[in-house]
Each structure stands twice: as C-alpha cells, then as structure tokens.
Structure 1
C-alpha cells in the first residue's frame, strides 16, 4: 500500500510542477504548518464564549502534553528499525535532486514526528472545542502531513502510525489525574505571575511551531560536549 501511494503521488508530481512547488513551500514554511494550529490554541485561550477561564487547564495540558508526545516519538524512531525515506529510494525515481535531501539519511521516517506532534495538538483542541478540533484534524492531515507524503518525506504508514500515537498520547495525558493536578497548579501560578507565565507560554508555542528543533539542537550539543 505504501509503495502504491508513493508511486501514485510521484506520478502526479511529475506532471503538476506548480502544485509540487506549493507542496515544497508548505513543508518549508513553519507559519503555514504549526503557526496556524498554535494560533487556534491562543484564540481559544482568549475566547471566553468557547471556553471559560476555569477551562483553560485543558489548553495548558495540551501544550505540555506535546512535549511527552514528541519524546515518545523520538524514542520510538531511535529504538525501532531504521526506515529510509521514500525520496531516498531510487526505485521511485523522484524528479527532485536526492542530494538536496541528503540530511534525511540520518533520520528514520517511522513514525512521523510531524504527525505525532500535530495530531496530539489537534486532539487537545478537539477536547476543548469540537468544531475547531475537527478543523484542526483536517488541517493537520491536508496541510501538514499530506505534503510530506506527496514529496516522499514519509510513507503513508509513517503518518498513520504517528497520528495514532499522537492521538492516544494526548488522550491519555488529558485523562490521568497527575496531569490535571499539574495543569491546576500552572493555572494558579498564571494568576500570581502572569508575565512569566505568558513568556513561557510564548516560548513553548514557538518551540511547538518549529517542532522543538532549537531545543533538540541545544540538547544534542550539551549531550555531545558534556556527557
């Protein structure tokens, strides 16, 4: 099934150059990807008609829950057998230059980090607002995940399994009592020191939009030079 889907989209990509250029624009534009989903969370935070102030705890849980989701995803990618990206497989004969994506050689495509992170966010949003949750799920698949299949960054099963992990992880985090207590504590602190709270809110939002790339780079540097 994976090979069939990749072959189909690759055939389309070879005939629709303009659409392919749009796909490249999307995968390289963090604002179009994570920026929209995070903007929805901020919109819900300040929209008291949709979510009362005492219900903001779910947004807090959703934000820090993504950290747990991405950690699980990275652990699985490192533990599970390495899977090369479709674009690096010469059998598919992608029209793009493989050398342009040589950095993907070092990263296993299974499961997809993007799918884990953004489907977990969509799950959190769905727990707050069904309407915005459905929109988020559709947006995550069509705008964030589909271009990565189309361009050969991931197989369909990379996205599917990543999405399942993200949904289950966030559902679990939203349900367990320790995370609820942590959210209540953070909410209480936000009223005591709103300046520091919103500064942290912004930093975490930014890291989610960029898929924690800067945080991972810093952690990798520290681990390499200190440990």
Structure 2
C-alpha cells in the first residue's frame, strides 16, 4: 500500500509544508494576518452587541462542552463498533487506542515547530473577553495557540474514519472539525490559522506517512497479536 500511495503522500506533504510556509515565512504572516484579524474582530464585536451570541460562545467554550465533541466522535465510532463481530470489536478497540496514541504523538510534534504565538485575545488591546462579559468560565485565551490542538485532534479522528471506515463517516468527521473548532475561533482562544494552517498542515504531513503506508496497520495488527485471546483470521 505504501508504494502505490506514494504520489498521494508526497502531494499531501507538499500541500502541508507549503501551507505552513505560506504563513510562517512572510513578515507578520503576510495575507494570513489580515484574514485572522478580520475573523477575530468580526466575532469579537458581536460579543458586546448580541446577548444570545455571547451566551452561545460562552457555553460552547466552557470546559464541560468539550465532552460534547468527545460524545459526537464516540457515537460515530460506536455505530461501526456495534456492527462488528467479536474479532471486529477487538480490532476496533485497538484502532481507537492507536488513534489516541497518534493524536498524542502528532500533537507533541506540533510543539516542536519554531512558533510561539499568543491567542488573539492576548494580542489585541481594547477587546471583549467572554468570561468577563458573560460571567461563565471559558477558555478565551492561550499563551501558545499554534497549532490548534483541539482542531488537530478532530482532524486525526477524521483521517482514521477515512482510512478504516467509510467516506460518509469521513464527511461527518470533517463536519465535526468545522463545528467544534469554530467556538475556539469565535471566542478568540485561537486564530483561524491555528486550525486551518497549523493543525491542517500537521495532519496532512503526519497522517499521510502513518495512514497511507503500512505503518498503522503494522502497529494495530502487532498489538492485536500480543493481547491474549488473539485468533488468526481463517483463510
């Protein structure tokens, strides 16, 4: 599989590295800063003028709301899990564990990037802070917001859905990326490019070598054989 997918891997790496460099190399991040600034100020201005919007942003950025995204991913995973026989369920549990380990490794790799970037709420003065306006504790700032770890986790989940399940589950998972990363952008805890440059570039490079080569299958099958109760598939 690795050789046949080499053009896809190289294309995804070229896209991911090119996307990152288009943001990293220009002074003050070039045209990306205007996009980032416009998106942040658009949402930030509405926080002070729209009470319903303020409440929505506050609730969706409270730590408890993170459980909703986990539940959404869990339900999609459960849909496929329940359709499996005993061997399939065993394999799916291992896929889930490997997916979590992959998320940790890629996320930690993102910390090696030569970027230290505070969130918009810490970069601009005279702005609205959701916690202060609403009284609801929220994650409305970050001293190091690049790349967006929350968005990266969602993208890794989407990648595994495409590799091991179905295209329609991948489409749903991409929807999760958009829906559950948007609150972080609206509250100002992340720049738009934290998610759609930083996280996306990391996902394209990291997942391409992991999921489009035999690497992930090798680890999943290896763990499966090591755990007691393994039964080789009948031929």
Q: Common fold, TM-score beyond 0.5?
A: yes
1:77 and 2:147 aligned? no
2:175 corresponding residue in structure 1: 138
Greater CA drift, 12-21 or 133-142: 12-21
> 1:159 is matched with which residue: 195, 214, 218?
195
Residue 125 (structure 2) aligned to one of 70, 76, 91 = 91
* Structure 2 Cα separation of the partners of residues 103 and 141 of structure 1: 18
Structure that is richer in helix per residue:
1
Name structure 1 gaps, 5 residues minimum: 194-227
- The alpha-carbon deviation at position 186 of structure 1 amounts to 2.8
Structure 2: give runs of 5+ residues left out of the alignment.
Answer: 1-34, 231-235
Contact 1:62 1:174 in 2 (8 A): no
| Partner Cα separation in structure 1 for residue 154 and residue 215 of structure 2 | 23
Q: What's the CA shift string for 1:4-24, capped at 9, x where partnerless? A: 111111122222222222222
Shift in CA distance, 103/178, structure 1 to aligned 2, threshold 3 Å: same
Counterpart selection for 2:78 from 27, 38, 42: 42
Is the 1:114–1:145 contact (alpha carbons within 8 Å) kept by the matching residues of 2? yes
Query: What is the distance in 2 between the residues matched to 1:131 and 1:118?
Result: 16
Determine helix, strand or coil for the equivalent of 1:192. coil
Deviation at 1:112, TM superposition (A): 0.6
RMSD, matched Cα = 3.2
Partner of 2:6: none
Residue 26 of structure 2: aligned partner:
none
Instruction: Evaluate the alpha carbon distance shift between residue 141 and residue 79 of structure 1 in structure 2; reply closer, same or farther with a 3 A threshold.
Output: same
Deviations 1:39-67 (A, max 9, x none): 2112212224xx99559757744542342
Residues matched between the structures, number: 189
Q: TM-score, normalised by structure 1?
A: 0.69
Considering only CA atoms, is the larger Rg found in Structure 1 or Structure 2?
Answer: 2
Matches within 5 A, 1:98-177: 104=141, 107-127=143-163, 128-142=165-179, 144-160=180-196, 161-177=198-214
State whether structure 2 residue 63 is matched by structure 1 residue 26: no
Instruction: Name the structure 2 match of 1:179.
Output: 216
Separation in structure 1 between the aligned mates of residue 160 and residue 147 of structure 2, nearest angstrom: 20
